[in-house]
Amino acid sequence: MTAKLAYIQDVPFDLDENPITVGNGKFLATMQYEGRILGSRNGPRISGYIQDVGTGAGTETTLQVRNATTGRDYFDTQPAFRVDDADANNGATLYAGTLRIEPTFAQGDVLALDVDAVPGGADAALGTVYLTCEFLRAVD
């Protein structure tokens, strides 16, 4: 009989562009096992920090996590680095957005972090986003 071992791991996406530009499938991660993106009462388990949030009051770097294998978007309200949330060094933490129901993926699926919008100054740069996932691994 095969059982499934569950474990939790952060999947990192490095936004290593200076400046960050709009585009789909720019940052990719292949899922080693089947699983799901975790959520909580306070929102999904996605976090991140951008070193330079950019300029343009009221604007943001808007992200989407998409299953590139199936074409499914995982967020109804997209995660974003907001210019108006900049700290003293012009960095910012990620606003988490709203996770869709059943944020699952299969073993071998490729998750893509898409950049759907950038600040008005088009000068946001260098960040990291972490997606907390539960993985299910078959064990004998």
Residue 41: pLDDT band by 50, 70, 90 thresholds?
Answer: low
Tens digit of each residue's pLDDT (9 = 90 or more) over 44-80: 689 999 999 999 878 899 999 999 999 999 999 999 9
DSSP state of 83: G
Mention the CATH class of domain 3-139.
mainly beta
Residue spans per domain, the chain: 3-139
Record the pTM: 0.91
**Cα of 77 vs its chain's centroid, Å:** 12
Q: What percent of the chain has pLDDT over 90?
A: 77
CB 113 within 8 A of CB 13: yes
